[in-house]
Amino acid sequence: MNRLQALALALALAGAAAPALAQEFKAGDITVDKAWARATPKGAEVGAAYFVIHNNGATPERLTGGSADFATVEIHEMKTDSGVMKMAELKNGLNIPAHATIRLAPGGYHVMFTHLTKPLAKGDKVKATLTFDPAGSVEVEFPVEEVGASGPMPTKGGAMGGMKM
């Protein structure tokens, strides 16, 4: 291994150990971690957030919804129906069986921020409260990332998006 390769490896290892997504949020037997929200193009009315839920208890839990001061919080699921990706609100919430870990990720379960009052900009941190039954409510901080973004790219200058507001 030459010096450049060694440097690259060191950087890769440092990146893997980065604590950026390591923050944990707890309510009763529930732990939420690896939270992030996807950056939105200017003028977008919806955004998505993802995280991992751990049920550390022997009682089944349910994510029933949440609230935020910049949007309405809904629990959604992406599903492939006859080869077409469709999104649906989980009106009855998301079940988290006892001792289970449920991952919300692009293409699957997610929290949808609707009626956004501001764009979610990369580098921002937004806070939303998630409500679990029976564990209760927990405020979670979502760093805004462009990682895995699959929505439309922001347009130059955002003139169209600006008009939509």
CB of 109 to Cu ion, least distance (A): 9
> Does 9 participate in binding Cu ion (rule CB under 5 A)?
no
Decide whether 102 or 112 has the Cβ nearer to Cu ion. 112
Instruction: Please name the residue ranges forming H helices in the chain.
Output: 3-16, 159-164
Question: For Cu ion, which residue of 87, 105, 159, 165 counts as binding (CB under 5 A)?
Answer: 87
Rounded Cα–Cα distance for residues 147 and 31 (Å) = 23
Interface residue with Cu ion, options 44, 90, 112, 149 (CB under 5 A): 112
Q: Whose Cβ is closer to Cu ion: residue 2's or residue 92's?
A: 92
End-to-end CA distance of the chain: 54
In the block, which residue shows the tokens 């699921």? 77
Angle (CA) 90 87 36, round 5°: 80
Structure tokens of 4? 């450049």
Listed ranges 19-27, 70-78, 100-108, 135-143: which one lies at the site for Cu ion (CB under 5 A): 70-78
Residue that the structure tokens 């989980």 belong to:
90
Q: Cβ-closest residue to Cu ion?
A: 76
- Stretch touching Cu ion by CB under 5 A, among 6-14, 51-59, 73-81, 118-126: 73-81
Span interacting with Cu ion, options 6-14, 112-120, 139-147, 156-164, rule CB under 5 A:
112-120
Shortest gap between Cβ of 110 and Cu ion (angstroms)? 6
- Please report whether residue 76 would count as binding Cu ion according to CB under 5 A: yes
Q: For residues 44 and 112, is the Cβ–Cβ distance under 8 A?
A: no
Q: Collect all residues with Cβ–Cβ distance below 8 Å to 100 and sequence separation of at least 6.
A: 54, 55
Is 44 a residue that touches Cu ion (CB under 5 A)? no
CB of 21 to Cu ion, least distance (A): 21
User: Do the strands 47-55 and 30-38 form a parallel or antiparallel pair, or are they unpaired?
Assistant: antiparallel
Contacting residues toward Cu ion, per CB under 5 A: 76, 87, 112
